[in-house]
């Protein structure tokens, strides 16, 4: 996997998680589920052979990872309270 391919994969995942956060805020859980499957597929496509990056590509990857984590937090902010109110879904 080239550095361009690595960044492309992270760009796609960041975009998908941004869409997932928007779907969660709108209460579109079917859309969220569909996007989650796309995101998982994109992550699996990257496999385990992601090379280490340096310089500007490394900094871009870090920025993308921060975006992905922020989107994940936004999704959890919506879904965790909902899941805690569904019998059998609470996380302990």
pLDDT tens across 20-48, in order? 999 999 999 999 999 999 999 988 887 77
**Quick check: is 60 in a domain?**
yes
SS3 35: helix
Whether residue 91 lies inside any domain: the answer is no
Distance CA 54, CA 49 (A): 16
Of 43, 48, 44, 38, nearest to 1 by C-alpha is: 48
pLDDT above 90 (res 74):
yes
Structural domain range at position 47: 3-84
Q: What is the CATH number of the domain that holds 68?
A: 1.20.58.380
What does the pLDDT look like over 8-24, one tens digit per residue? 999 999 999 999 999 99
Cα–Cα dist 87/64, whole Å: 35
Q: Tell me how many domains the chain contains.
A: 1
User: Contact 10/65 with Cβ under 8 angstroms?
Assistant: yes
In a domain, 90, yes or no: no
Q: Judge contact between 62 and 7, C-beta under 8 A.
A: no
Q: Is residue 25 part of a domain?
A: yes
Query: Is residue 20 one of the residues assigned to a domain?
Result: yes
Which pLDDT score, from 0 to 100, does residue 89 have? 59
In-domain check, residue 63? yes
d(CA 14, CA 68): 5
Q: Does residue 43 belong to any structural domain of this protein?
A: yes
């Amino acid at each position: 996997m080239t550095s361009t391919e690595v960044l492309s994969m992270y760009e796609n995942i960041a975009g998908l998680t941004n869409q997932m956060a928007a779907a969660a805020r709108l209460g579109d859980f079917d859309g969220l589920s569909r996007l989650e499957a796309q995101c998982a597929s994109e992550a699996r496509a990257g496999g385990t052979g992601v090379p280490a990056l340096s310089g500007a590509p490394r900094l871009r990857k870090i920025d993308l990872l921060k975006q992905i984590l922020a989107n994940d937090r936004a999704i959890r902010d919506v879904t965790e309270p909902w899941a805690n109110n569904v019998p059998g879904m609470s996380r302990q």
